[in-house]
Structure 1
Amino acid sequence: MTANALPAPVTKAGQEGLAALLADSGKALVALDFDGTLAPIVADPELARAHPQALDALVALAPKVAAVAVITGRPAEVAVRNGGFAGVPGLEHLVVLGHYGAERWDARSGEVTAPDPHPGVDAVRAELPGLLEGSGTWVEDKGRAVAVHTRRAADPQAAFEALREPLTGLATRHGLIVEPGRMVLELRPPGMDKGVALTGFAREIGAGSVLYGGDDLGDLPAYSAVDTLRTSGTPGLLVCSGSDEVTELRERADVVVDGPEGVVELLRALADRIG
Structure 2
Amino acid sequence: SDLILSAFDILQKNFPEKIDIIVPIELGGHNTAVTLYLADKLELPVLDADLTGRSAPEMYQTGYYVGDIPPTPAAVYTPFGEKYYIENINDYKRLDDVFRELVTLCYDYDIGVANFPLPIKKAAPYMQKNTLTLSIKVGSLLQQKKIDEAINLAGGKIIFQGRPVEENSEIKDGFTYGKVKIKGTDGDLILEYKNEIMLAKLNGEIIASVPDLIGSVTQNGNPILNTKFPINEEVIVYTLPSQEIWKSGKGRSVFCLKHFGY
TM-score (norm 1): 0.23
Structure with greater strand share of residues: 2
TM-score (norm 2): 0.24
Structure with greater helix share of residues: 1
